[in-house]
Structure 1
Amino acid sequence: MKTAESPTPTSDRSAPNQRVAHQPEGTRTLDFETIRQSRPTTWTAALEASVDVDRGGRPDLFLVTVDDDCPANCSLAESLSGEHAGWCSCQVFQATEVCPHLCVLRQRAALGDLALPTRER
């Protein structure tokens, strides 16, 4: 069982210093510290879930499967100032602007298990 706290293989990590100029339409600025405090159920669910993360065709794209549910297409990048920008195909993100899929990606990045690209704009 993989969790957000389980290390991912080195092959799942992106090369350092990768950059991304564009993310999908509907990408939003995400303050994960605020999300962790204001949406603890979503944040904790991501920590406790069984998760698989696969890389997409660009450094910011990921296919995230939480608890054997349908996989979600996600985009997450970080600006030079440390601000995150993300998008997810799941209905939860479309309705609330935050979801467990993006929380999983941020948690893995914070643990050093996943490198996020730098957002150029």
Structure 2
Amino acid sequence: MADKTEHPRNVYLAEQDLIGPLDSWLSTCFAPHRLAETIDDLYAAQPELNVDPGAAAAVKAVEKCDRALERHRAALEAGADIDRKAEVYRQLQLHATYHPVNDKCGSRLMSIRTAGVIASVRGGT
């Protein structure tokens, strides 16, 4: 039930309602007896600086493609029509090859990375 609940993308919060609790929290974090702990926490939360920006961008792009592929796969498994399937395959740059000897189909994503998947063909398609 909880996974079907719709949540708003944003929430309005008046500044006057936030300032008091935020100031109290910050005063607690930066109190003299907690200052060293807070500094250690802030230091530990910093991103790694030795990350190659190109590699990080590639990882994000692959993750985005993985999410899109999962959405498309779910739509196809839910029974999307054949014309829609062809369009999805074209958008994903997915190339499939049928192997009649073992009745399997191999597929390759030709865009960001290559992934081979072998699956049984259902229903002769």
State the TM-score, normalized to the length of structure 2: 0.24
Which has the larger share of strand? 1
**Per residue, is there more helix in 1 or in 2?**
2
The structure with more radius of gyration: 2
TM-score relative to the length of structure 1? 0.24
Which of 1 and 2 has higher RCO (CA within 8 Å, sep 6+)? 1
